[in-house]
Amino acid sequence: MPLLMLSDVSANYAPTIWGDHFLSYAASMEVDIKLEQHIQELKEEVKRMLMAPVNKLQKDLT
């Protein structure tokens, strides 16, 4: 069976209803992961800030 020339393989497909949704979704997942990591870091920082006076008070009482 002979190899098809590139021009012989062309097709005229109609655009899908999804468009490039899945292509952009994969990129946004990476951004979401980085954002989630940043949120976790900020939560830990806030927790340390809130616990600092408690820890100091406990240290002063002992």
What mean pLDDT comes out for the span 31-48? 92
Can you count the helices (H) and strands (E) in the chain? 1, 0
Cα 1 from Cα 38, distance rounded (Å): 56
Q: Which amino acid is at 55?
A: N
What mean pLDDT comes out for the span 36-40? 94
Residue position matching structure tokens 């999804």: 18
Residues in the chain: 62
Q: What is the pTM of this model?
A: 0.48
- pLDDT attached to residue 16: 72
